Amino acid sequence: MTADVSKPIRLALVGIGKIARSQHLPAIDRVGRLDLTAMVSTGAVDDDVRFETLSDLVASGLAIDAVSFATPPVGRFELAVEALAAGWHVMLEKPPTATVSELEELRRVAGEKGRTVFAAWHSHEAAGVGAARQWLADRRILGGEVFWHENVRDFHPGQEWIFAPGGLGVFDPAINALSILTEILPCSLFVEEASLVFPANRHAPIRSRGAFATSQAEARIAFDLDFESAGEAQWDIAIRTDRGVLELRNGGADLYIEGVKQAVARTSEYEALYERFVGLVERGESDVDGRPLQLVADIFLTGGRETCEPFAF
Amino acid sequence: MTADVSKPIRLALVGIGKIARSQHLPAIDRVGRLDLTAMVSTGAVDDDVRFETLSDLVASGLAIDAVSFATPPVGRFELAVEALAAGWHVMLEKPPTATVSELEELRRVAGEKGRTVFAAWHSHEAAGVGAARQWLADRRILGGEVFWHENVRDFHPGQEWIFAPGGLGVFDPAINALSILTEILPCSLFVEEASLVFPANRHAPIRSRGAFATSQAEARIAFDLDFESAGEAQWDIAIRTDRGVLELRNGGADLYIEGVKQAVARTSEYEALYERFVGLVERGESDVDGRPLQLVADIFLTGGRETCEPFAF
């Protein structure tokens, strides 16, 4: 099913928290085709079109074409199923669902109902990522490193859900790195080894180290992830190839080849995501890339476990 | 590619441990088309055709058509890739690989090389499972329970790998229950909640409880898994439907409808698996069902964590 490209897409945004205010609302405002028709939030929202729950929105009879979810990943699946049942297209903040099985089911249901599901990975839209993928496409990968350190107190202050079951802990930010890796590398990744460090009072890991093997036999991508970093946040990826070294720094925003910074067009990651969502809806397509979440699930499945001191925000 | 059905399939068995001796070797002996041509084991094997490693077997130049892996799941992926590269068909003991990503890659490589990959789930061949699937196919599922209790000391004495990273702990047996569930239920399963209890000195859980949601909104399948059960081993599944209650007891061997034991033909699970493998090779097909492993990965990803007293065999 394709949509009439002359009409605005009436959008509901669900989950009005930190990321919705800082990224989703400004981006929606800048994308011409989108008409923000409703907001769903259990918290206070200074707007007339506010609903407490998605069920309230469905029951209201308000005309909606699409729903974007910026709620925490646990519980998002049930909401997305409800939205698809109402006949609405669905966009999902990363990670798209709590589990891989849920994501596969959304793909199936969307196909059945002829609606779009878009599992949005905002780091795919970081300024250096597209150029990095092109540069790596015809090179032989020799190895690489992911270094993803930040302090959860700076970027997720008081967000207790992030250390609850399904909250992913350090993999909430690190899944951005994995979404870049699976996007730019011309080979598949498999967990070779991993350590997971859990605070004694939490259900999700705060640190992880390990390595991926790849379908290019000799290439190995090491990772070093920390969610309680003492210094400045650092989100870097380095890939060594048969013809030079590529680096993505600053979460994919900056691209370096052989240590030399490359000119790349500045982007707004979330504006690009919403433009992509509009295009998917227009063409009647879905975009459901489960690989980053699959790698995290595989790390949890096979990682060695350590316990560290309790964590408090 | 299809095989000449008149010629024997020259088979190598890799990993000559407890399960190979008790199940694989007798089953291979009973399947007419299979000719056990080599065994690969680091341990002592009383046979002339013994190789220390798979690489030794490849290097020997011995004519082989297919390889069956009964090694522990960690490390099996690399061996399977090596076997496929040698042009051999591959059968994998359960769980087929350490991670879901590895299993997807084997599916891809086998397709590329025109070889068969068979992820064998022996509980699929338990006597009551086929009849259970047929009975459930047109019924509405209302709910169910999985009760899977055994003592690891009885069934896996001294097998340290089972509590090492990737060894799955209680999910090494319980994945059999999940392989039955995904086979018999006419709906999809998703992890709704789970607890994982890790011995303080081990990397894999010894107990787990939780529940699956299903694509039939109201149906919920609870599970209670214990790998250090004090009593007799018990491997039972009960499914409530709109038209009666089905039970599989004794690991799927015994089928009860409304409490009445049903007549089912006795089977040899491993003989049936090898017959199925022969059929797949003859037809040039693969059978790679990753759902049971995906559910386990999703449980590890989202389960709450508890620590219990250290475990010793």
Q: Are residues B298 and A191, on separate chains, in Cβ contact within 8 Å?
A: no
Q: Are residues B302 and A166, on separate chains, in Cβ contact within 8 Å?
A: yes
How many CB pairs below 8 A link A and B? 100
Chain A residue with the nearest C-alpha to that of B295 = A101
Domain ranges of chain A: 9-122+269-288, 124-267+297-308
Q: pLDDT tens, B140-172?
A: 999 999 999 999 999 999 999 999 999 999 999
Q: pLDDT tens, B280-303?
A: 999 999 999 999 999 999 999 999
Asked whether the predicted pLDDT for residue B253 surpasses 90, the reply is: yes
pLDDT value at position A49? 72
pLDDT value at position A217? 72
Q: Is the ipTM of this complex over 0.90?
A: yes
Q: Which amino acid is at B123?
A: S
pLDDT value at position B2? 52
Residue B191, φ and ψ in degrees, nearest 5: -70, 125
Q: pLDDT tens, B92-101?
A: 999 999 999 9
The candidate with the shortest Cα–Cα distance to A27, out of A100, A87, A93, is: A93
Asked whether the predicted pLDDT for residue B3 surpasses 60, the reply is: no
pLDDT band at A288 (very low <50, low <70, confident <90, very high): very high
Asked whether the predicted pLDDT for residue A39 surpasses 60, the reply is: yes
Q: Which of A80-94, A297-311, B47-61, B221-235 has the lowest mean pLDDT?
A: B47-61
pLDDT value at position B6? 74
pLDDT value at position B18? 87
Chain A residue with the nearest C-alpha to that of B73 = A302
Q: Number of helices (H) and strands (E) in chain B: give both, helices first.
A: 10, 15
CB-CB neighbors (< 8 A) of B105 in chain A: 188, 190, 215
pLDDT band at B49 (very low <50, low <70, confident <90, very high): confident
pLDDT value at position A3? 53
Share of chain A above pLDDT 90, in %: 91
pLDDT value at position A175? 98
Chain A residue with the nearest C-alpha to that of B193 = A165
Chain B: nearest CA to A136, how far in angstroms?
21
Q: Which residues contact A174 (CB under 8 A, 6 or more apart)?
A: A146, A148, A208, A223, A225, A296
pLDDT value at position A237? 98
Question: How large is the average pLDDT for residues B205-227?
Answer: 95
Q: Which two tokens stand for residue B34?
A: 């299979």
pLDDT value at position B46? 67
At the top level of CATH, which class does the domain B126-266+297-308 belong to? alpha beta
Q: Are residues B300 and A301, on separate chains, in Cβ contact within 8 Å?
A: yes
Asked whether the predicted pLDDT for residue A132 surpasses 60, the reply is: yes
> Which of A190, A301, A308 should one mutate to test binding to chain B, selecting the residue with the greatest count of B CBs within 10 A?
A301
At the top level of CATH, which class does the domain A124-267+297-308 belong to? alpha beta
Q: Which residues contact B78 (CB under 8 A, 6 or more apart)?
A: none
Q: Are residues A166 and B297, on separate chains, in Cβ contact within 8 Å?
A: no
3-state secondary structure of B245: strand
CB-CB neighbors (< 8 A) of B100 in chain A: 100, 294, 297-298, 301
pLDDT band at A46 (very low <50, low <70, confident <90, very high): low
Q: pLDDT tens, A230-250?
A: 989 999 999 999 999 999 999
Q: Do domains A9-122+269-288 and A124-267+297-308 have the same CATH topology?
A: no
Q: Are residues B215 and A105, on separate chains, in Cβ contact within 8 Å?
A: yes
Q: pLDDT tens, A5-32?
A: 679 999 999 999 889 999 999 999 999 9
Chain A: nearest CA to B32, how far in angstroms?
36
CB-CB neighbors (< 8 A) of B291 in chain A: 101
Question: How large is the average pLDDT for residues A260-278?
Answer: 95
Q: pLDDT tens, A66-95?
A: 999 999 999 999 999 999 999 999 999 999
Report the C-alpha gap between A116 and A111 in whole angstroms. Answer: 8
β-bridge pairing B254-257 and B304-308:
unpaired
Q: b or e along B58-78 (b: 16 or more beta carbons within 10 Å of the residue's beta carbon)? A: beeeeebbbbbbbbbbbebbb
Is domain A9-122+269-288 annotated with CATH 1.10.357.10?
Answer: no
pLDDT value at position B30? 96
pLDDT value at position B306? 95
pLDDT value at position B216? 85
CB-CB neighbors (< 8 A) of A300 in chain B: 297, 300-301
pLDDT value at position B146? 98
Report the C-alpha gap between A246 and A243 in whole angstroms. Answer: 10
Share of chain A above pLDDT 70, in %: 97
CB-CB neighbors (< 8 A) of A289 in chain B: none
Dihedral angle over CA of A13, A295, B94, B272, nearest 10: 60
Mean pLDDT, chain B, whole residue set: 95
Instruction: With beta carbons less than 8 A apart as the criterion, state whether B295 and B146 touch.
Output: no
Question: How large is the average pLDDT for residues B38-46?
Answer: 82
Nearest-by-Cβ selection for B294 from A101, A295, A303: A101
The candidate with the shortest Cα–Cα distance to B91, out of B106, B69, B73, B113, is: B69
**What residues pair up with A236 in beta bridges, in sequence order?**
A147
Q: Are residues B101 and A77, on separate chains, in Cβ contact within 8 Å?
A: no
Chain B: nearest CA to A24, how far in angstroms?
26
Chain A residue with the nearest C-alpha to that of B100 = A298
Q: Are residues B300 and A295, on separate chains, in Cβ contact within 8 Å?
A: no
Long-range contacts of A260-269 (CB under 8 A, 24+ apart): A262/A128, A262/A131, A264/A127, A264/A128, A264/A131, A265/A127, A266/A127, A267/A125, A267/A126, A267/A127, A268/A27, A268/A30, A268/A125, A269/A23, A269/A122, A269/A123, A269/A125, A269/A126
Q: Are residues B101 and A194, on separate chains, in Cβ contact within 8 Å?
A: no
Q: pLDDT tens, B114-141?
A: 999 999 999 999 999 999 999 999 999 9
Instruction: With beta carbons less than 8 A apart as the criterion, state whether A119 and A92 touch.
Output: yes
Asked whether the predicted pLDDT for residue A45 surpasses 80, the reply is: no
pLDDT band at A4 (very low <50, low <70, confident <90, very high): low
Q: Are residues B77 and A305, on separate chains, in Cβ contact within 8 Å?
A: no
Q: Let me know if A94 is a catalytic residue.
A: yes
Q: Are residues A305 and B203, on separate chains, in Cβ contact within 8 Å?
A: yes
CB-CB neighbors (< 8 A) of A172 in chain B: none
Question: How large is the average pLDDT for residues A285-304?
Answer: 97
- Please compute, for residue B104, the number of CA atoms within 13 A of its CA located in the half-sphere on the CB side: 17
**Interface of chain B against chain A, CB under 8 Å?**
74, 77, 98-102, 105, 108, 165-166, 168, 188-191, 193-194, 198, 203, 215, 291, 294-298, 300-305, 307
Asked whether the predicted pLDDT for residue B218 surpasses 90, the reply is: no
β-bridge pairing A50-51 and A34-40:
parallel
pLDDT band at B1 (very low <50, low <70, confident <90, very high): very low
Asked whether the predicted pLDDT for residue A124 surpasses 90, the reply is: yes
